[in-house]
A and B are shown apart, each in its own frame.
Chain A
Amino acid sequence: MLGSTSVIAQKNVSISFDLSPSDTTMEVGVFKFYLSSISLQFEDNSVYIEPNSYHLINKEDSSPQSLTLSNVPDKAISKITFTLGTDSMANVSGAMDGDLDPILGMYWAWNSGYINFKLEGKKGNQAFEFHIGGYNGEQATARTLSYSVSADDTIEIKIDPSKFLNQIDLSSTSSVKIPGNEAVGLTNYYPNMISVE
């Protein structure tokens, strides 16, 4: 080789999702959400930040329940950080494409902004629909979460919609579809439904 360019070996990291409900009395109609701003921390404490990191994850069978981070330094991973939802930049910058295309049913036409998390279905006879969104000030619903992992090139994120639902008293709250206090309150239930391996 000419010169002395040092080459850092790179790899792809695959993140897969298990979105099945552990409670079999729960019927999931729609379960879609945004995962954004993914970063990985390595054992040497350096960090990889995925550029333009916006992913729509959809439980629907026809959708891939995985994503791939490319050009990741080939080092042992010790921590993953991501945001459940979209940052305000995505919400105020006009027309977007890719996973942020408003055609994907995760955008409010009457009150500009993305629906960060959508869960619809039935538990027993009780129907529920939760469309959680809002980006502005006290209405912000994006939640950043970090998990320790010990991984090389695959990470599995388990997001159990039953564990979200079980924290809600459906007899009093079964439908939230606008930004505001209720939507913000529901994001407090995110951590309990997520585990990372």
Chain B
Amino acid sequence: MYSVKNYQHRIRYSIQMKKGWPEPIYNPRESNAKFELGKKLFYDPKLSRDGSVSCAHCHLSFTAFTHVDHAVSHGIEGKKGTRNSPVLINLAWNNTFHWDGGINHLEMQMINPIEHPAEMDNSLENVITYLNSNQVYRKLFYDSYSDSTVNSKAMLQAFAYFTSQLISRNSKYDQYKNKELKLSLQEKKGMKLFKKNCNSCHTAPLFNSNIYASNGLSIDTNYNDVGRYAISRLGSDSLKFRVPTLRNIEHSYPYMHDGRFKKLRDVLEHYTNDIDINNPYLSEELRKKIILSDDDKKDLIAFLKTLTDKEFLYNKRFRPSR
């Protein structure tokens, strides 16, 4: 029997709810075709002007979709950007994108790397022309939308579909929360320190916040990056950046919006000793000095490593299809 109710039950969203997790902001209906199409776009260097750089160039699956050892992003012809390529993790729960939150919807994010002169330096128009001239893409678009003609809306939605599925929620920490395993004494000590000193901004279970904050870094004189101010034009947003997720942090070095810290040790050194308290817009949480002993720092780092999700990092589904 096909009642209306039965029909509604058969609508399946791509992201399933999980206990203790908020609802995702972006949750398209499940579509394997869009996943495959979005993935092909993600790994296709022909989206760039000279055919040399794909999204995966700066966002590698094995390193939580960032570019390890690169302080800032690298585009075509060796051009350098001004910011550290962010991890692509649990984007479906973000309300804005980029370090300055300039992008207000996951579907609109892709336009920036395509068009940015220091990234792919192409035009949306060229990309759509290329996709329309390619029979493999035309078939994939047909599979997704029952229409082989490519337009930007279809492309942007398929791409957002893929990036929304880069979900990490099976780390050691998650398995501990699910009572599947126990944490070591050191990890538990680290968790206690984390809850006291870090969790108010890097809030579990996503270990981020959908806000902009100044964490007391001095301005980088190479880039003079004013952060959120460039978008909001509010003086109080000067030097503020999105609070990033700490999931898979062990693998996403270097750290901070400009990649200035190579090691987690350096990050903890900043938070304990180097915060610029003269910044009037410094995050309130950081006004009181964080005191950590050497052992505390080791414990905290041990906890941060429990946020590594091997299932996510080595997920074959996220790698190029043959």
Chain A residues with CB under 8 Å of chain B are 91-97, 101-103, 107, 109-113, 139, 178-181
Contact = CB atoms under 8 A, between A and B. Distances in A.
Interface of B: 98, 102-108, 111-112, 114-116, 124-125, 128, 151-153, 156-157, 160, 230-231, 233
Contacts of B115: 109
Contact of A109 (B111, B151, B230, B233): B111
B233 A95 contact: no
Contacts of A92: 104-105
11 contacts: A94-B106, A94-B157, A95-B105, A101-B151, A101-B153, A103-B128, A103-B152, A109-B112, A110-B102, A112-B104, A112-B105
Nearest to B108: A112
Contacts of A178: 233
A95 B157 contact: yes
Contact of B152 (A91, A97, A111, A180): A97
A94 B107 contact: yes
B242 to A, nearest CB: 14
Given A103-B125, A110-B98, A181-B233, 13 more contacts: A94-B106, A94-B160, A95-B107, A102-B124, A103-B124, A107-B111, A109-B111, A109-B112, A109-B116, A111-B230, A112-B102, A112-B103, A178-B233
A97 B233 contact: no
Contact of A95 (B102, B103, B152): B152
A95 B230 CA distance: 23
A96 B233 contact: no
Contact of B233 (A91, A102, A107, A139): A139
Contacts of B114: 109
Given A109-B115, A139-B233, A97 B151 contact: yes
A180 to B, nearest CB: 4
| SS class, residues of chain A in contact with chain B | loop
A91 B108 CA distance: 10
Contacts of B103: 112
Contacts of B116: 109-110
A119 B116 CA distance: 22
A95 B157 CA distance: 7
Contacts of B160: 94-95
Nearest to B124: A103
B247 to A, nearest CB: 25
Given A101-B152, A110-B102, A111-B102, A95 B108 contact: yes
A93 B112 contact: no
A139 B111 CA distance: 22
A181 B160 CA distance: 32
A24 to B, nearest CB: 33
B106 to A, nearest CB: 7
Interface centre among A92, A95, A103 (most CB of B within 10 A): A95
B86 to A, nearest CB: 15
A109 B124 CA distance: 10
A113 B233 contact: no
Contacts of B104: 91-92, 112-113
A171 B111 CA distance: 34
